[in-house]
């Protein structure tokens, strides 16, 4: 178990800055997820940690020891790739035993450890198969076993589940989470899937354009996004534009779309001022059809759009020129064109400075 | 920061380690000593006069009245009356006057510089006319017997150097097979016809080289993503419109690459001029650049001072044209492009079944093409197995014989030539595997600056005339290695190992590079992350995965080393006992007066063909694709 410290790391490919001055600390045994849209630099950051890319600037430390100039084979990391990268000319056993053979582990010990690793990933009995004889999920488990069997200092996973179908993906991410907790290996996991990131991580680093935008627990980054990019990238939300009317100790009062909203800033160090243009972020699950008038914004509008999603309905309510997204029970009896009154708790309206608005391009169309 | 730390940092930046360094040193040193320095020496010789830069020799070259003759001298078609002996049944001999149409014998003669260019342009043009339709038919239509044709179309590519030209010469000569059948027996022709000179060279080279255009265009069409054509069809294009707007423009790179290669191969070809010399003796077919340089080589036996420097200027002129051609298509023949083309062949093809009438039209085109173009190969077998060469009237074989085939083992000088070839080619292949694999690995996987130069250097031998390499070696090694085992006067055989290495390197380098491109780099990265260093990863992961490509490429390199002509016949002239198969063949056809020697050359040709068939079949099987399509 080691800590991984990344200090002012920068990597350019030609003119493109893939990783831009990133600093990040990962604790002993922590499960850190790097998440962001494609091209945000998350994979490059992972490869820099693995030693597969060489940084232009900055340091990488494992347990305080500088590994920046070490080649990948001296870093003692275990790596799992999106395409599994199983060697087609080797059996499952040989694939898993490879790292142990490199480390000159005695033959008997190798047998024992490979058996242990196979049990860990629940693949006992498949030692003699070749990779092409395995299903995608099984290949994924072999790749994982191969990385784990050498008991690396750091486990690095690059989009390990994106080649699996949706159901298996959910199953495997629970499995990976369980194994990681069981073994306590410091783990860095790259994904573009925000839902996967939220369910699997101890902490999440949200990246965009080569930089880390916010680091925090899944709860923090989801409930208290510090800017619009994080808010719109993780989960769904409605963004309204408004102007600050009043800043008090408890709430900030904002005028938007002809309504007065009360809301909060995600963190005390984020300051907004009267007259400032701001964004209001509202999660659909926080919007309901009833509530306590003393702690809720109450908004009236017209149902504009309904979409059936199996276990729930997505509904958009039009107020003025904007639409607020909410989710309702699947059997709720509503129709497009109906008038509707919605309740949004003050605590659930996040007020964010409107700067950096261009990043919202990534936000889902609402 | 200490020096050591600085070096570590730099090494990390370019991903340098001892393994890469060893490969780099190996590749660069071989390429420098055996490619760059010899050719540089040639350049220096051509451009330096009495210690100064000078274009004196070029001026002399271009002012040679035989170099450029314009307008051309001599008529291309000329009718003459000749007399032929006929023995009457009563034993009296009479002279019968006959009209003979000579095509090419007396002209045209543009002078040797323009002759070469004229021949090369014509060969490229005719290869285009034959190769492109063939490629479209084979790529786009399905008809009965297609797979048979796809094999038969490769027959003309089986190299039977000199013998092929000799046979064509014998067939087209005044008393050859063609005249015997069409004039004497069937009386279809009103006159005898003899095709010689430049037209004969053009004919032979076209038959030999058109498959290169065919294969390149075929590969280009096969690599067009079928969805591009489907999209066009979806938008309403079909038939000729589809062809003109989508298929043709997308296959243009393949056509261009094929044409330029054929142009260069024609310029450097020695097989046709020498083979025709065997059939017709001296004549205009010898008045081309490659033959003139070759002819000068015989003077070199007395030392390189015997060669007048305009010969070097002539070689540089040839090199200049070839290099210009190479640069114009470099984009399409680098390692990278080749790998891309190999990958593409996995797509699902769009092949049309066609009506019987169209199939008949295809047969009318393909059957004569296949028959005529593979006649040199058929003829070689007949020449080797019958008394054909000894028969003058009628010029047809009368009996079967093992005599010539068995002389491959019985005749000590022939057997020695075979052993020489096997030895040189085997050793060359070891070098080729080492350098080809290393070079491809460097280009594909390292981050060394300048790896594009390595890419260019291992592909440029495809387009470098062998005769240039021969001249360069003669100059470089005779000047700087006189008296050592590397002197061309002592051991031309040793140098041949290296000319084969350089000239046949591209085959292996390309197949290996294609293999590396198909291995996902993460397979190696996992190995690094598990603690294996560069060398371990190379031997345990990379090598097992590309071994098929190495074997396939090495077999091609081997077999085309066995058939290598230009450097083999020129350098060996300095010490004939070390001559390989092709040298023996050239001697048998051109230099030896004995009639049966032609048949021994044919027997050697049969041996070469068998080796080629075996090597290409295994190679195709291992690589699961057609042989190195560009630049065979």
Give the mean pLDDT of B471-486: 89
pLDDT tens digits for B248-282?
A: 888 888 888 889 989 999 999 998 998 888 888 88
Tokens, residue B404:
């010539």
DSSP-derived letter for residue B386 is B
Among the partner residues B15, B520, B544, nearest to A85 by beta-carbon distance: B520
Residue the block writes with tokens 């690459």: B257
Q: Which residue of A has its CA nearest to B520?
A: A85
With bands split at pLDDT 50, 70 and 90, how would you rate the model's confidence at A79? very high
Q: Which residue of B has its CA nearest to A102?
A: B532
Terminal CA-CA length for chain B: 52
Among the partner residues B15, B525, B544, nearest to A79 by beta-carbon distance: B525
Give the mean pLDDT of A158-173: 88
pLDDT tens digits for B416-470?
A: 999 999 999 999 999 999 999 999 999 998 888 888 899 889 988 888 899 999 9
- Asked if the model's pLDDT at residue B97 lies above 80, the reply is yes
Least confident of A145-159, B273-287, B331-345: B331-345
C-alpha span between A255 and A263 (Å, rounded): 11
A301 closest CA partner among A264, A345, A270, A337 = A337
pTM for this prediction: 0.85
- What's the pLDDT at B418? 92
Contacts B533 to A, Cβ<8 Å = 71, 73
- Asked if the model's pLDDT at residue B599 lies above 80, the reply is yes
- What's the pLDDT at A224? 92
SS3 B495: helix
pLDDT tens digits for B511-551?
A: 899 889 888 999 999 999 999 999 999 999 999 999 888 98
Among the partner residues B13, B522, B536, nearest to A85 by beta-carbon distance: B522
Residue A99 C-alpha, separation from nearest chain B C-alpha, in angstroms: 5
Among the partner residues B8, B532, B541, nearest to A73 by beta-carbon distance: B532
- What's the pLDDT at B626? 52
Contacts A146 to B, Cβ<8 Å = 526, 530
Touching check for A54 and chain B: CB below 8 Å?
yes
Backbone dihedral region for residue B421 (phi beyond 0: left; psi -120 to 50: alpha; all else: beta): alpha
Is B531 close to A87, i.e. CB distance below 8 A?
Answer: no
C-alpha span between B138 and B46 (Å, rounded): 46
- What's the pLDDT at A366? 32
Size of interface A-B (CB pairs under 8 A): 76
Contacts B19 to A, Cβ<8 Å = none
Please tell me whether the peptide bond between A189 and the residue prior to it is cis, using omega within 30 degrees of 0: no
Touching check for A88 and chain B: CB below 8 Å?
yes
pLDDT tens digits for B487-516?
A: 888 889 999 999 999 999 988 998 899 889
Fold assignment, A4-223: Rossmann fold (3.40.50)
- What's the pLDDT at A61? 95
Contacts A11 to B, Cβ<8 Å = none
SS3 B423: helix
- Asked if the model's pLDDT at residue A361 lies above 70, the reply is no
- Asked if the model's pLDDT at residue A363 lies above 60, the reply is no
Touching check for A76 and chain B: CB below 8 Å?
yes
- What's the pLDDT at B410? 84
- Asked if the model's pLDDT at residue A317 lies above 80, the reply is yes
- Rounded (to 5) percent helix, strand, coil in chain A: 30, 35, 35
- Asked if the model's pLDDT at residue B194 lies above 90, the reply is no
Are residues B444 and B518 in contact, defined by beta-carbon separation less than 8 angstroms? no
pLDDT tens digits for A205-233?
A: 999 999 999 999 999 999 999 888 899 88
Is A89 close to B523, i.e. CB distance below 8 A?
Answer: no
C-alpha span between B259 and B588 (Å, rounded): 32
Q: Which residue of B has its CA nearest to A73?
A: B531
- What's the pLDDT at B544? 93
- Asked if the model's pLDDT at residue A362 lies above 50, the reply is no
- Asked if the model's pLDDT at residue B632 lies above 50, the reply is no
Is B530 close to A50, i.e. CB distance below 8 A?
Answer: no
Among the partner residues B8, B536, B545, nearest to A89 by beta-carbon distance: B545
Contacts A81 to B, Cβ<8 Å = 522, 525-526
Fold assignment, A237-364: OB fold (Dihydrolipoamide Acetyltransferase, E2P) (2.40.50)
Residue B587 C-alpha, separation from nearest chain A C-alpha, in angstroms: 49
- Asked if the model's pLDDT at residue B628 lies above 80, the reply is no
Is A81 close to B13, i.e. CB distance below 8 A?
Answer: no
Q: Which residue has the higher pLDDT, B544 or B612?
A: B544
Are residues B196 and B178 in contact, defined by beta-carbon separation less than 8 angstroms? no
Instruction: Report CA-CA distances (Å) from A181 to A29, A30, A116.
Output: 8, 9, 16
Q: Which residue has the higher pLDDT, B412 or B2?
A: B412
Is B527 close to A98, i.e. CB distance below 8 A?
Answer: yes
The residue ranges of every structural domain in chain A are: 4-223, 237-364
With bands split at pLDDT 50, 70 and 90, how would you rate the model's confidence at B339? low
Residue B522 C-alpha, separation from nearest chain A C-alpha, in angstroms: 6
Long-range contacts at A247-255 (CB < 8 A, ≥ 24 apart): A247/A272, A247/A273, A247/A274, A250/A346, A251/A346, A252/A351, A254/A278, A254/A280, A254/A351
SS3 A320: coil
Is B523 close to A102, i.e. CB distance below 8 A?
Answer: no
Residue A218 C-alpha, separation from nearest chain B C-alpha, in angstroms: 29
- Asked if the model's pLDDT at residue B346 lies above 60, the reply is no
Cα B510–Cα B511–Cα B512 angle in degrees, nearest 5: 90
Is B531 close to A81, i.e. CB distance below 8 A?
Answer: no
- Asked if the model's pLDDT at residue B59 lies above 50, the reply is yes
Residue B526 C-alpha, separation from nearest chain A C-alpha, in angstroms: 6
A158 Cβ contact partners less than 8 Å away, ≥ 6 residues apart: A43, A46, A47, A79, A80, A81, A82, A190
Contacts A74 to B, Cβ<8 Å = 531
SS3 B89: coil
Residue B516 C-alpha, separation from nearest chain A C-alpha, in angstroms: 14
pLDDT tens digits for A120-135?
A: 888 989 999 999 999 9
- Asked if the model's pLDDT at residue A349 lies above 50, the reply is yes
Is A98 close to B522, i.e. CB distance below 8 A?
Answer: no
Please tell me whether the peptide bond between B108 and the residue prior to it is cis, using omega within 30 degrees of 0: yes
Fold equal for A4-223 and A237-364: no
Among the partner residues B9, B15, B541, nearest to A87 by beta-carbon distance: B541
pLDDT tens digits for A174-191?
A: 989 999 999 999 999 999
Q: Which residue of A has its CA nearest to B543?
A: A89
- What's the pLDDT at A356? 54
Tokens, residue A36:
């962001």
A234 closest CA partner among A262, A252, A261, A215 = A215
C-alpha span between A323 and A327 (Å, rounded): 13
- Asked if the model's pLDDT at residue B113 lies above 60, the reply is yes
Is A83 close to B528, i.e. CB distance below 8 A?
Answer: no
Among the partner residues A73, A77, A146, nearest to B533 by beta-carbon distance: A73
């Amino acid at each position: 178990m080691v800590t991984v410290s990344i200090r002012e790391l920068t990597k350019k490919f030609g003119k493109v800055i893939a990783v831009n001055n990133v600093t990040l600390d990962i604790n002993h045994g922590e499960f850190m997820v790097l998440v962001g849209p494609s091209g945000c630099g998350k994979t490059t950051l992972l490869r820099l940690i693995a030693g597969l890319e060489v940084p232009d600037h900055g340091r990488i430390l494992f347990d305080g020891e500088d590994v920046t100039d070490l080649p990948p084979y001296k870093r003692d990391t275990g790596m799992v790739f999106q395409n599994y990268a199983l060697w087609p000319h080797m059996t499952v056993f040989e694939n898993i035993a490879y790292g142990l053979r490199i480390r000159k582990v005695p033959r008997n010990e190798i047998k024992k450890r490979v058996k242990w690793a196979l049990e860990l990933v629940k693949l006992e009995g498949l030692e003699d198969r070749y990779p092409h004889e395995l299903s995608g999920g099984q290949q994924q488990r072999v790749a994982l076993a191969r990385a784990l069997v050498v008991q690396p200092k750091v486990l690095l996973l690059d989009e390990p589940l994106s080649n699996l179908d949706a159901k298996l993906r959910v199953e495997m991410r629970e499995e990976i989470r369980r194994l990681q907790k069981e073994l306590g290996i410091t783990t860095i996991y790259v994904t573009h899937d925000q839902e996967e990131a939220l369910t699997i991580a101890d902490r999440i680093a949200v990246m965009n354009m080569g930089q880390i935008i916010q680091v925090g627990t899944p709860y923090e980054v989801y409930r208290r996004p510090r800017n619009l990019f994080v808010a719109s990238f993780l989960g769904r939300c409605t963004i309204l534009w408004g102007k600050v009317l009043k800043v008090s100790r408890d709430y900030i009062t904002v005028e938007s779309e002809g309504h007065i909203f009360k809301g909060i800033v995600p963190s005390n160090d984020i300051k907004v001022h009267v007259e400032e243009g701001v964004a209001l972020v509202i999660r659909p699950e926080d919007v309901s059809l009833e509530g306590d008038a003393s702690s809720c914004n109450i908004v009236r509008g017209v149902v504009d759009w309904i979409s059936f999603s199996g276990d729930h309905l997505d509904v958009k309510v039009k107020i003025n020129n904007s639409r607020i997204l909410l989710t309702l029970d699947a059997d709720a009896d509503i129709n497009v064109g109906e008038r509707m009154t919605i309740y949004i708790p003050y605590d659930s309206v996040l007020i964010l400075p409107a700067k950096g608005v261009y990043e919202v391009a990534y936000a889902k169309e609402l | 920061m200490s020096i050591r730390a600085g070096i570590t940092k730099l090494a990390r930046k370019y991903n340098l380690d001892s393994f890469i360094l060893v490969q780099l040193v190996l590749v660069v040193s071989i390429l420098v000593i055996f490619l760059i320095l010899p050719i540089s020496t040639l350049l220096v010789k051509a451009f330096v006069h009495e210690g100064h830069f000078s274009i004196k020799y070029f001026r002399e070259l271009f002012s040679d009245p035989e170099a450029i003759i314009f307008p051309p001298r001599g008529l291309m078609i000329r009718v003459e009356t000749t007399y032929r002996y006929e023995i009457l049944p009563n034993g009296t001999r009479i002279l019968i006057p006959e009209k003979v149409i000579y095509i090419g014998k007396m002209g045209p003669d543009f002078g040797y510089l323009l002759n070469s260019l004229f021949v090369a342009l014509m060969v490229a043009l005719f290869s285009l006319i034959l190769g492109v339709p063939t490629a479209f038919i084979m790529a786009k239509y399905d008809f009965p017997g297609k797979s048979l044709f796809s094999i038969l179309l490769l027959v003309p590519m089986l190299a039977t150097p000199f013998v092929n030209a000799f046979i064509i010469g014998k067939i087209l000569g005044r008393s050859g097979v063609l005249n015997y059948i069409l004039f004497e027996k069937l009386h279809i022709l009103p006159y005898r016809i003899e095709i010689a000179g430049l037209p004969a060279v053009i004919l032979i080279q076209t038959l030999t080289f058109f498959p290169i255009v065919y294969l390149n265009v075929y590969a280009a069409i096969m690599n067009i993503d079928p969805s591009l054509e489907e999209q066009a069809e979806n938008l309403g294009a079909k038939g000729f419109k589809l062809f003109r707007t989508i298929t043709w423009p997308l296959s243009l790179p393949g056509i261009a690459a094929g044409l330029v290669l054929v142009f260069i191969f024609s310029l450097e070809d020695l097989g046709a001029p020498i083979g025709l010399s065997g059939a017709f003796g001296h004549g205009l077919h010898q008045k081309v650049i490659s033959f003139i340089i070759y002819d000068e080589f015989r003077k070199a036996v007395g030392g390189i001072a015997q060669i007048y420097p305009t010969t070097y200027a002539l070689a540089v002129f040839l090199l200049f044209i070839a290099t210009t051609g190479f640069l114009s298509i470099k984009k399409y023949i680098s390692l990278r492009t080749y790998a891309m083309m190999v990958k593409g062949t996995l797509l699902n093809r769009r092949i049309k079944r066609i009506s019987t009438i169209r199939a008949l039209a295809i047969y009318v085109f393909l059957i004569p093409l296949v028959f005529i173009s593979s006649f040199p190969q058929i003829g070689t077998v007949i020449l080797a197995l019958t008394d054909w060469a000894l028969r003058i009237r009628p010029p047809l074989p009368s009996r079967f014989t093992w005599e010539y085939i068995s002389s491959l083992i019985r005749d000590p000088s022939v057997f020695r030539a075979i052993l020489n070839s096997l030895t040189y080619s085997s050793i060359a292949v070891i070098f080729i595997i080492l350098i080809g694999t290393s070079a491809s690995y460097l280009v594909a996987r390292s981050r060394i600056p300048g790896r594009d130069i390595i890419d260019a250097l291992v592909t440029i031998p495809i387009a470098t005339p062998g005769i240039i390499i021969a001249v360069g070696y003669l100059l470089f090694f005779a000047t700087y290695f006189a008296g050592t085992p590397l002197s061309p006067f002592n051991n031309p055989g040793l140098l041949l190992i290296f000319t084969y290495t350089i000239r046949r390197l591209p085959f292996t380098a390309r197949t290996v590079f294609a293999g590396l491109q198909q291995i996902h780099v993460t397979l190696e990265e996992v190995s690094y992350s598990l603690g294996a260093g560069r060398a371990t990863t190379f031997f345990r992961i990379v090598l097992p995965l590309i071994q098929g490509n190495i074997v396939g490429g090495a077999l091609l390199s081997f077999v085309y080393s066995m058939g290598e002509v230009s450097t083999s016949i020129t350098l060996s002239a300095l010490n004939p006992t070390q001559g390989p198969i092709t040298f023996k063949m050239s001697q048998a056809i051109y230099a030896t007066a004995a009639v049966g020697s032609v048949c021994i050359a044919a027997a050697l040709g049969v041996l070469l063909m068998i080796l080629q068939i075996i090597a290409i079949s295994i190679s195709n099987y291992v690589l699961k694709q057609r042989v190195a399509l560009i630049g065979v």
